[in-house]
Structure formats: C-alpha cells, structure tokens
Structure 1
Amino acid sequence: MLNKLCIFLVCASVAAEDVGYFWHVTDFHWDFSYWTDQLSCNGMNISQPGLFGNQWCDSPWRLVQETISGIKHIKGDVDFMLWTGDTVPHVDNTHLSIALNEELVRNVTELMKNEFPNTPIYATFGNHDYYPNNMYPPHGNEIYNDNYNLWKVWINDTSQDKNFLKGGYYTVLARPGLRIVALNTNMYYTHDTVSMGIDDPADQLLWLENVLENAEKQNEKVILTGHVPPGISAPRGVRWMYESFNKKMNGIVVRHADVIVAMHFGHEHHDNFRIYYGATGPAKVCLFIAPSVTPWRFQILSLKETPHNPGVRLIKYDRQTGKQLDIYQYYMDLNAANTIGYVNWTLGYQATVFYNIPDITAPSMEALATKMRNANSQEFRSYVNWYNTNGAKDFSCDARCHKSVMCGLGNLELSTYSACLKSQNVFNCSPGNCPIVG
C-alpha cells in the first residue's frame, strides 16, 4: 500500500511540474535604410553606424537576424511565440508604401519560419505596420489580406478567416485549456483617425466579450496579446488609447478577470507592468509590457529619451492551468556588441529571483508593487533601472517620477491616475484613486 501511495505522489508531483515556455518579441522596427539614408535616425547624421544598430536609429537587418537566431539558440523548444508587431521603422509615410510595408513584414515572417519551422507564432499588427501608419480601418483591406496569407499557417484555423480579414484579430487554442486572443488594438490608438468616433471598430470588442464568455464555459484560460496596451504609460503619463476605448477594454478585462491569466503587449519599448483591480478586493490581472528589439529612442526638440538596449523575453508558464510562472528578460549590450563584432544575448534578470516573488501572477506582482512604495527600496530601484533594459544602469527617477510610476501601476484610467498624482500621499488616498494600495 505504501509503495502504491509513493508512486501516486511521484506521479502527482510530476504532473504539477508540467511547465512550458514561450517567447515574446516585439517592435523590431527594421530600418531598410540604415546603411544608406538613415531615415529612422531622428535626423542625426550617424557617421559610423554600428554593425548591430545605433541608439538613435531603428534596427538594421543584422539585428533582426541576430535576435531571431539568438532566441533559438537560447531556447528553441518553446511551445509558441508571441510577436506583437511594429516591424516597419519610424519613417515618414513619404518613404513607405503598402508594397514596402508588406515586404518588410514578409521578410521577417519568413526568417521566423526558417528559424522556428515547427513553432506556432501568434503575430499581431503594430501601429507602424499599416500604410499610412496608424490608420487601421474597421473593415477589410489589402494589408489584412496579405498578412493573413503570411500568418494563417500559424493560426491554423479557418474559422478565424473572417475575423482577421475584417479587423486583423483572431483567437486560437494554443493547447487544451489555454487560449490565445490576439487583438488589433491599433484601431483604438489616439493617432488612428479612421476608427475615431466608431463605437466598436470591426466589432472587435463584442467579439472579445463573446470569446471570453465562451472560454469560461469551456473551462479555458486566456492570454490576451496585442500591440497598443490599455492603461497609462508611466512615468510618461501617456494614455495610448482614446478614452472611450480604454474604458471599454479595461471594463472587459475586469469582468472576465477569472478567465484571463495574463496580458502581454508591446509598443512602449520599455519594460514595465500594470495591475487590474475590481471595485474591491485584491489584484485580478497583470498586464506585462515587453521591451523592444529596436534600440531607437525619440528626440523631440530638446527632449531626448534615455538610451536603452534591445530586449527579448522568455516566459515560463504552467501548461495545465496557464498560470504565469516567471519572466527571463534577455538583453543585448549594444555598444559592447558593436565593439567586439558579435552579439551576446545575456540574461538580465529572472523575475522571481530578482524581485523575490514566487511567480508573476497578479497577487505576486501586487506584492512587488507594495515593496516598491519605498522609493529607496531595492525593488523600486531595480524596476526603474530595467525600465530601459539596462541601457541606463542608474536611471534617474526622483520623487515625482516615483509617484507617477506608482500611480500608473494600478490606475488604468486617466481620471484616477490624475487624481492619484494630485493626492498628497499616494499610499493613503482612496481606493478609487489608488487601488494598488486600496
């Protein structure tokens, strides 16, 4: 009887350790003119552009290649990959076209297929991938059609044809019990004047609500992924979505928080996260923003963004429950790579070890946020240092910056975020304004 019991316990232990991994890569921004006209380089004249890139410019092709081959070398046997868009560089529309944008995405797609021939890659559009950039329409068009032909082998579900061709969104069952919902949130972006004023562009929000309701009925867990994230980007204090769309997205997430195990988005080029709360109670869902591959940083008049390095992200999860277990954040020291002539993708941090948390679920990230209340804490200093993927190891973040970061972690509406900033003590304000400490 004892032997049978031991065998049972061993089997149960093995079953409990059924972990899988997936990559999240985002914002390649491949500059096809890097070695010639340097169209993405903020008007700077880069006399000696680095082999793998320059921190004023978007990615040369060599950086794109080294990224995809590099993650295969680190861990090629992943269950799937999330690719959250922006393959096209920060280049004026006068230098772009439908054909060119499609070619850029096609070349990166083919490179991924060659390096990961047996891995499904769940791709979404970035705001720059459309032509003219940002102007995603709420109906079918050539770019939706062309990209569907490129990505349908990964989607592998003809029932999603209509959704993708209509609005560039889809859902797939990545494995039994775990569903990927890939959104085209670019239609909600504040630069998209085509969808502005439409209640539900391409019927995506209604579709999303139905998908999440059906997932609950089928006892499935869901990963939401896309490019433009909801919430407030801190410390910049920017809301990327139109207010109405941001509210609708946040409402859907909160209503279906029991189904959603995580959200993984791009667009911001920086490493950060946000936490969803209901009207009362603990954290419900965590939204993770992965850093970009491109080292590009903006310059607007005298305002210059702090340099940052290229980054890629490996995520560990429980295959049985979808529970998000850990983040392995890799980065490339761009200056070092250009100096020595080869790339060394380095593990910057493992989230559970780095922050001393058991996993990366919403309750654990809430516990981390609580530690970060102290601006001098190791947790907060580590967080803001890696905001730039260690491009600036002593990232300056004063009291105002700290307050902005803390308010942004749990306030995903501009009204509550602003109220939090105005409060005398972030950590004693009302739950409606500062739910992260509520």
Structure 2
Amino acid sequence: MILVAYAALALLLQTGVRGAPFTASPAHKRFVHLTDIHYDPLYVSGADTRTQCHRRTEDSQGTDKAAHYGTRGSNCDSPFPLVSEVFAAIRNDIQKDSPVDVVFLTGDSSRHDRDSLVEKEASEVYSQNAEVVYHIDKTFDLTKTTVIPSIGNWDVSPHNMLPEPKYASDAFANLYSVWRPLLESGLSESEVNSTKQTFLSGGYFDRVIGQVNGEITVRAISLNTLYFFAENTAVDDCEITENTGAVVQLSWLEEKLTHARQQNEKVVIIGHVPPIDHNDNPLYKPNCLRLFLQTIGDHAEVVLSQFYGHINKDVIYLLTRQGDESIDPRKPSTYALNAVTPKTVIDLQKQNRTILSVSQTSSSILPVHNTGVKAGVISIRPHDTHIMRESQWFIDIVRANDKFASSPGQPSVSPITFKEACKTDDDYKMQDLKPRSYQEWLKRLHDEAKLDLTLDDVELKAGKGKKPRSQILKKYGYCMDALEKQPHPPPDNHLSLSPAVVRAVLISATVVFVGLMVAFYFFVQYLEKDGDVLERQRLFFRPVESNRGRDNFTPGPSSRPRVNFRTFLSPTSG
C-alpha cells in the first residue's frame, strides 16, 4: 500500500510540473505587450455614457451609466481604477511565477478627444502618458525590465497629425522627456545618444533585448508608424526620390535588418498602427504599404514577429510571397499581408502560399471588448532564436464591475484579476511560433472550417441544428475579442478551486496518508514489543490472551504481558 501511495505521489508531482506556468530562464526572455490604454482622468463612474462618461444626466438609464472599471463596448475611455488595478494585476497575476523581461508598449496611452464640451488640450497627451509611465515604473523594475514604447495616433496633438520631422521637433522632444525613464534606463551613454538621435529626428529607435555570451542575439525596433498612416494627412505618401520622414525611416529600417542578417541577429518590430486591419483594409498609404512589405519580406528570416495595437483586437497576420519577385518600385509588392480570421482561413489555405513572417495586434487595455494583455517567451539561442509560446491574459470587465457593485465597501478585495487563455501551445497546438508552425496551424484551421461547412450542409438537409465542432478555430475567434463573446457557465454556488490548488491538495493528502501508514506500522511494532492485553483488545475489538497464558491477568504499571502480534492475525487464532 505504501508503494502504491508513493507511485500516486510521483504521478501527481509529474502532473503538477507539466501543468505549471512557464518560468523564464537566462536563455529565455519573457515579454508582455500592452497597448491602447487610453487613460481618461475625466471619467466619472455613474456618468452618462453619451457624454463619454464625463457627466451625469437626468435622463440616463441604467444601461447608459458608466461602470466603475470602464464601460465595455461604449465610446468611453479607461478610468483611473481600471488603469491602476490592471498594473496591480500584472504584478499579482502575470508576474506571479516569473518576472517580465521586456514590455512592448505600442502607443495610445492618452484619452480620445470625443467630447465636444471638454476639448482635449495638447498638454493632456503628455500628462496622461506620464501617468502611465508612473504605473510602469511601479510595476516593473526598470533596471531589469526593458520597456520599448512607440508613438500612437492619440499620442500627438492634434490626433493623427504628425508633420515632417523638421516641424515635429517639439512633439518628439516632449514625448522623449516623458518617456525618458523608459528610453534610457539601463543604457550606456553611447546607447542613450543613439536612441536620442533617431527618436528626436523621427520618433523611432532600436534597442538590444537579448544577448548570449555578450553577443547580441535579439534587437527590438520601435517604428513611428504615423509617417505611414493613411489618416495622417500632414505628410504625403512615400516617394523613394524624396527625403521625407517616412522614406528616411524605411531606409533606416532596411539598414537595421540588413545588419541583423549579417550579424546573425533576430529582430522584433513594434509600432502602433498595423499595415492592415482585421478586414484586410490597408491602414498605410499605398506606396508606404508597398515599400514596407517589400522591406520586411526581403528580410523575413530575421524578423521574429511584429507587434501592433490600434484596432483593439487580437489578430494574427501572415506575410507571404506573391507573383513576380521583381523589386521594381513601380510594380506592386511581391509580398502579401493577410489577416487570419474565421472567415478567411479557407481562402488563405487555398492560396497555398509559404508563410514568410508573422505580425499581430493585441487586445487593448481600453475595454472596447474585454481588457487584454499579450504575453510570450522568446527562446534565445545562437542560430535558433525564436518565440516559444504566447498567450492572452484577459479581464472580464462586466463581471469585475458586477463584483464591485455587489461589494463596494470592500476596496481591499479587488475584482480585477487576469486569467490566462488563448495559449499557442495548449489551445492552438503549436510547438513554437516559427513560420513553419503557423503553416501547420493555418492548415488545421482550414480543415476545421471545411468540416464545419460540410457538416452544416448535411445537417441542414437533415433538418438538424448546428453543433459546435471546430475547437481551435472557435477558440481563436473568441480570442480575437479577448473572450468577450465566449459563453460563460452559470456561477457555481460551491467553492471552485484552480487546478494548481487541486494538485496541491491532492499532493498534501497523499503525503499525509503515507505519513499515517508509516506511523501505523511503527505503532504495530510497538504493540508487538511492549503492548499490553488491554491495548491490543482496544485495537482489535476482540479478547486476546497474554503471552504468559494467565487467564485472570490484570495489567499494572510494572507488569506488561507480551504477545506475538502475528498470532492474532491468523484465521485460526482466538
């Protein structure tokens, strides 16, 4: 029995190790992607959502009122309680098992300018960014965690409008001043000068985020995507014959990628505005989009991934080669970029193109859907640096607001907690995030979508209702909106425990059981050696004989009869 118990304990320990959260090692870099915080200090809980949650009105209904932690699906921005509690939850939940090494902060930290009665001032851009920097500094140890920011279209004033660099020097200088703790922490004087030179002249920069034996292996590049952004009418489209901010930045990007190839480095690219949205609508100006895709495609083997914000959705985009390989700037790009959605997987797989590189947008802190944060791990090895896994940490904003409303007098118990979901290894069945793995993942999505269409047609003819089947595709669809649309089971009336707690309880119970068995064994040994008749009778609930053969023996403190314990276990004894 003891051997069985030990075997059970070994199995539980094995299961616990396999299911434990990933802990980064020196050969790994754990990253977090934060985007579109849109902090609004003017947000008033209980205000009318039609006022952007700035003012209460007499005719507002219950459903039109601003909730404490933000109002999902409204035009309101993020209140202070949400911003504060999100960073606290990052400390308590995401960093619980291991610290974060790198943070990608992809812009739009300040509020929108949608309230005609409270016009946004230019100074708010910097004060609200400063508030976010304050929370980042409280959450992460900036001597150990590298933070890479990028400029969002609401991080300039007026929004979207960023003129050519010679007219934007004040905007760059003001942002640099606010972001200085993030941009300069941990850098040498020469590295600070390099960062300052490119940021102040164009709003972009690069920084080393991974080394092996002193040699650079991974570099992050922060782009100023506003110079490519179609809605930035303050600058023209990219023309390679002109020395514009966009063209200079693209030339700098090509130099960095070429250098990375020559030095066997890998690159992570971040920015605010992605090249296209989740419906494949271009967000860059036509020439800028073509030149950008050409630059990335020509150096795809050194780009680990690209991280963007802006669209408030968690979407994966695939870069593939198409048509003629000519790089004639007068011809269309030889590369195509497409969003992966449940509606596009069949057509994407039909094209049978080889995936060269991947980019992605992340869910936002702003609760357009649920609040979401992306996290992942980069494996840093010479000649095999790659992203191992990613997942999404989300907050169910509606439930958090309901919990706060039900217990407003308990501010010490925060209902804001992150839950991990959308795991590329467990949920998407991907062994890593190399282009080959995405190729296999896309095929699985395609096969599930085709099966759904086939079975739906059969069931429709048979008069049967549709049943859920496509597991990976369904999970990806839910993850795009930070699980906002995922059906929730009814709340349990009994105590629910996490798998980690259940494992701990089972392991503890097994250890206690083994300990009791060992204690019982030694107790039996004691009875065989020193136990008296009454002690044995109480143990076995039956009369026993003393080993001295005396029928009328009364045990005393100085006389303890002995007996062979094994005779009482014999079927013929007694």
Q: TM-score, normalised by structure 2?
A: 0.61
Distance 1:372 1:41, change over 3 A: farther
CA contact 2:422–2:476 (8 Å) conserved in 1: no
1:212 to 244, 257, 260: 257
Matched-pair identity in %? 24
- Does residue 30 of structure 1 match 2:75? no
Deviates more, 1:256-265 or 1:279-288: 279-288
Which residue does 1:59 correspond to in 2?
78
SS in 2 for 1:111: helix
Q: Could you tell me how far 1:317 is from its partner in structure 2?
A: 1.3
- The one-letter code sitting in structure 2 at the alignment partner of 1:179 is R
Which residue does 1:283 correspond to in 2?
355
Distance (Å, rounded) in 1 between the aligned partners of 2:321 and 2:137: 40
- Does residue 136 of structure 1 match 2:209? no
Deviates more, 1:20-29 or 1:44-53: 44-53
Deviates more, 1:90-99 or 1:48-57: 90-99
Which residue does 1:273 correspond to in 2?
316
CA contact 1:190–1:240 (8 Å) conserved in 2: yes
Distance 1:16 1:74, change over 3 A: closer
Distance (Å, rounded) in 2 between the aligned partners of 1:40 and 1:325: 40
Which residue does 1:352 correspond to in 2?
425
The list of structure 1 runs, each at least 4 consecutive aligned residues, that deviate by more than 6 angstroms after superposition, is none
Unmatched segments (≥5 aa) in structure 2: 1-23, 185-191, 212-216, 324-352, 405-414, 453-469, 488-574
After superposition, residues 353-432 of structure 1 pair within 5 angstroms as: 353-373=426-446, 374-375=448-449, 376=452, 377-393=470-486
Distance 1:117 1:158, change over 3 A: same
Distance (Å, rounded) in 2 between the aligned partners of 1:121 and 1:334: 26
- Does residue 152 of structure 1 match 2:176? no
What do the CA deviations read for 1:244-275 (whole angstroms, capped 9, x no partner)? 11111111110011111111111110111011
Which residue does 2:496 correspond to in 1?
none
Which residue does 2:66 correspond to in 1?
49
Q: Could you tell me how far 1:175 is from its partner in structure 2?
A: 2.3
Deviates more, 1:91-100 or 1:309-318: 91-100
- The one-letter code sitting in structure 1 at the alignment partner of 2:293 is N
Distance (Å, rounded) in 1 between the aligned partners of 2:298 and 2:265: 16
Q: Could you tell me how far 1:31 is from its partner in structure 2?
A: 2.1
2:268 to 199, 211, 223: 223
- The one-letter code sitting in structure 2 at the alignment partner of 1:382 is K
Q: Which has the higher contact order (CA 8 A, sep 6+)?
A: 1
Distance (Å, rounded) in 2 between the aligned partners of 1:115 and 1:313: 16
Distance (Å, rounded) in 2 between the aligned partners of 1:311 and 1:255: 32
SS in 2 for 1:351: coil
Distance (Å, rounded) in 1 between the aligned partners of 2:272 and 2:294: 18
CA contact 1:26–1:292 (8 Å) conserved in 2: yes
Distance (Å, rounded) in 2 between the aligned partners of 1:335 and 1:391: 9
Which residue does 2:140 correspond to in 1?
116
What do the CA deviations read for 1:193-229 (whole angstroms, capped 9, x no partner)? 0112353425111110111111122221100001101
Q: Could you tell me how far 1:130 is from its partner in structure 2?
A: 0.7
After superposition, residues 239-258 of structure 1 pair within 5 angstroms as: 239-258=282-301
Distance 1:93 1:335, change over 3 A: closer
CA contact 2:314–2:361 (8 Å) conserved in 1: yes
2:400 to 334, 337, 349: 337
Q: Could you tell me how far 1:282 is from its partner in structure 2?
A: 2.6
Unmatched segments (≥5 aa) in structure 1: 1-14, 297-307, 395-438
CA contact 2:260–2:266 (8 Å) conserved in 1: yes
SS in 2 for 1:350: coil
- Does residue 190 of structure 1 match 2:230? yes
Which residue does 1:317 correspond to in 2?
378
- The one-letter code sitting in structure 2 at the alignment partner of 1:263 is Q
Distance 1:265 1:310, change over 3 A: same
Distance (Å, rounded) in 2 between the aligned partners of 1:322 and 1:262: 12
Distance (Å, rounded) in 2 between the aligned partners of 1:182 and 1:214: 16
Q: Which has the larger radius of gyration?
A: 2
CA RMSD of aligned residues (A): 2.4
